[in-house]
Amino acid sequence: MTVKALGYLAIGSTRPDDWAGFATDRLGLQAVDRGGKMRAFRMDDRRQRLMVDGALPDGSTVFGWEVADAAALDTLGAKLDDARVAVKRGSAAAAARRCVAGLISFADPAGNPLEAFHGGAVATDPFKPGRDIGGFRCGALGMGHVLLAAPRIDTVWAFYRDLLGFRISDYTAAPVKAYFTHVNPRHHSLALVEAPHRVMHHLLLELYSLDDVGRGYDMALADGRVAVTLGRHGNDRMTSFYQRTPSPFYVEYGWGGLDVDDATWKPQELKSVRSFWGHRGLFESLGDGPPPPEMPVMPPWPEARAPLNVIEGNYSRLAGVCPWWDTLAARR
């Protein structure tokens, strides 16, 4: 187990002001004053999670993967050296720019720029969301997940699995090849999808409250930014929608994602990548048009429904037990 979480995402954009407004007023991130050409945003107690970095080329993305400590970072650097991956040890200035204690830079086989780091700085003041939300589910789970599309993803997946310690959650072989992979209990921190060109499709941000997702959906509808309608995924059980951002990738805004436990989790091939409901536009957003005709439809009960994933204090149990429901639930 090498990588522990998706710690941060740095993006290059010629529209930093648009990003500042979108990140705070719409997503609910907290703007942090970093000065210069850096726009940084908080999601939790970390000093920054999302960065619009003026030093990066427009449209570029750098993924910051967190490891436990300086020794783990050294071990990873040596492992990459042995595998003949070009690794650049980050300077003190580079680490300060990311608000971390140390970092290295390299790239995956698809060409995605990566950084591995340890010692993410923690803020001294509490997180203050940019709009009225109950907060983001991140902390040790990291800031969310990313979906990267690329050619020859078997090679890309082998890199993340063998060198960075990612584990498989589930996968599809046909008609779309995809790997959903985890580094902590979050069902996936990285999804890889086979596609003709390398592209970052989306960043997921998970909220504590379904109502905060719903209000975000109302605002995105009013803004005309909805790319994929509200729906619920069948594998990570996330209720979410996807919205356009000032950059050429989407933000998935969701609630109720599944946790996996390596001690009991059994990776499986998905029978369908269709959602339980909704998510209209998802296949079109991947650039593949409507679902191919051979795509299996969502199977009937019990696979077409699943319990909600809630955290302590975020639900009220209904009174009463229904024998009919118990019969159905027992079939799962």
φ, ψ of residue 252 in degrees (nearest 5): -85, 130
252 forms part of the interface with Fe ion (CB under 5 A): yes
Q: d(Cα 82, Cα 80) in Å, to the nearest integer? A: 5
Complex with Fe ion: residue 77 or 231, whichever CB lies closer = 231
Residue 254 beta carbon to Fe ion: minimum distance, rounded to whole angstroms: 7
Q: d(Cα 225, Cα 242) in Å, to the nearest integer? A: 8
Residue 161 beta carbon to Fe ion: minimum distance, rounded to whole angstroms: 19
Complex with Fe ion: residue 95 or 148, whichever CB lies closer = 148
Q: d(Cα 275, Cα 282) in Å, to the nearest integer? A: 10
CA-closest candidate to residue 83, choices 108, 61, 66:
108
Residue 289 beta carbon to Fe ion: minimum distance, rounded to whole angstroms: 19
Q: Using CB under 5 A, which of the segments 1-9, 153-161, 201-209, 298-306 binds Fe ion?
A: 201-209
Q: How many residues bind to Fe ion according to rule CB under 5 A?
A: 2
146 forms part of the interface with Fe ion (CB under 5 A): no
Complex with Fe ion: residue 97 or 188, whichever CB lies closer = 188
Q: d(Cα 10, Cα 34) in Å, to the nearest integer? A: 14
Complex with Fe ion: residue 104 or 226, whichever CB lies closer = 226
200 forms part of the interface with Fe ion (CB under 5 A): no
E strand or H helix at 182, and its extent? strand 178-182
Among 204, 207, 213, 273, binds Fe ion (CB under 5 A): 204
Q: Using CB under 5 A, which of the segments 58-66, 135-143, 198-206, 311-319 binds Fe ion?
A: 198-206
Site map (CB under 5 A) of Fe ion, residues 269-308, x = contact: ----------------------------------------
Question: Burial, 266: exposed, middle or buried (Cβ in 10 Å; 0-12, 13-18, 19+)?
Answer: exposed
206 forms part of the interface with Fe ion (CB under 5 A): no
- Give the list of residues 6+ apart from residue 169 with CB closer than 8 angstroms, or none: 180, 181, 182, 187, 188, 235, 236, 260, 265, 267
Residue 234 beta carbon to Fe ion: minimum distance, rounded to whole angstroms: 12
Q: d(Cα 182, Cα 198) in Å, to the nearest integer? A: 21
CA-closest candidate to residue 92, choices 129, 117, 66, 61:
117
Q: Using CB under 5 A, which of the segments 115-123, 197-205, 271-279, 282-290 binds Fe ion?
A: 197-205
Q: d(Cα 86, Cα 80) in Å, to the nearest integer? A: 7
The residues binding Fe ion (CB under 5 A) are 204, 252
